[in-house]
Structure 1
Amino acid sequence: MCNETSSRGTHSWPLEPLSRRSAGLTALSLHDENVRFATTRGVSEHNRSANFVPGYLDSVSGEWVLSRFRDGSPAPVHVLDGLPPTWVARRDAAGNVVQTRPGIVSGFVRDGLFYTREEAVLALC
């Protein structure tokens, strides 16, 4: 039985502060999301068997992409290095993505649809 409820209503996980969400994704923010959803189907480990694939959404354009390594190969978890160049705000000296631009959201893709972490949890209830 699923005890999770919609992120649009009551929910059992804390919301990330708006200032942090609007700053863009970083390795630290992805880690924080994984910790927050660790015991739910909002992480790859718990939803992979239901054909959810890690991905990202540009909340402004509505475009989504799958999570990829820097070389373009599919990543089994959320990584930032394979994002489209226009989605990147900052890179380190080695060219690794350090931060996305605001409005990029991590989540999952299944059957051609993007799901936020919260929506993935609810879809599997």
Structure 2
Amino acid sequence: MEARLSSTVLQDQNQQFLGTGGRSEENRGQGFRPAFMDSDNLAIYASCFADGRPAPFHLIDGLPEHLIASRLASGRVAEVKASVISGFVRNDRFYSRDEAAQYISSKLH
């Protein structure tokens, strides 16, 4: 079972997908925007700062309260529900990090 999403897990994913197109920095030019999907109901949530502004990278602090599994003593989000995955939205379609990387790879070759 994969770890619940946290800031640390997101950092690990960024390292894992470095150079593949599965990172915001590498796919933004193709119209991808960082997002999350709740695999329980397929609801998609744009990545946002805690104040609701769109974030240019994956950030769990702006997710709705019903997705939050735990918070730090400071009030920041520590983890989200296990059903939440990180990915991207492009043209109203959700792409997992793997799918975004495959898309970017197909455009380069």
**Structure 1 counterpart of 2:87, one-letter code:** G
Indicate which of 43, 49, 74 corresponds to 2:54: 74
Indicate which of 65, 81, 96 corresponds to 1:116: 96
Match of 1:36 in 2: 16
Structure 1: unaligned runs, 5 residues or longer: 1-17
Structure showing greater Rg: 1
Give secondary structure in 2 for the equivalent of 1:98.
strand
How far 1:71 sits from its partner (Å)?
Answer: 0.3
Match of 2:74 in 1: 94
How far 1:94 sits from its partner (Å)?
Answer: 1.9
* Identity in percent: 41
More strand by percentage: 2
Match of 1:63 in 2: 43
1:24 matches 2:7: no
Q: How far apart in 2 are the matches of 1:96 and 1:113?
A: 28
Encode CA deviations 1:42-88: one digit per residue, 9 max, x unaligned: 00011000010000000010000100000000000001100010000
More helix by percentage: 2
Question: What is the aligned length?
Answer: 105
Indicate which of 65, 77, 83 corresponds to 1:103: 83
**Structure 2 counterpart of 1:99, one-letter code:** E
Runs of 4+ in 1 over 6 A off after TM superposition: none
Match of 1:6 in 2: none
Encode CA deviations 1:87-118: one digit per residue, 9 max, x unaligned: 00001122100000111000000111100000
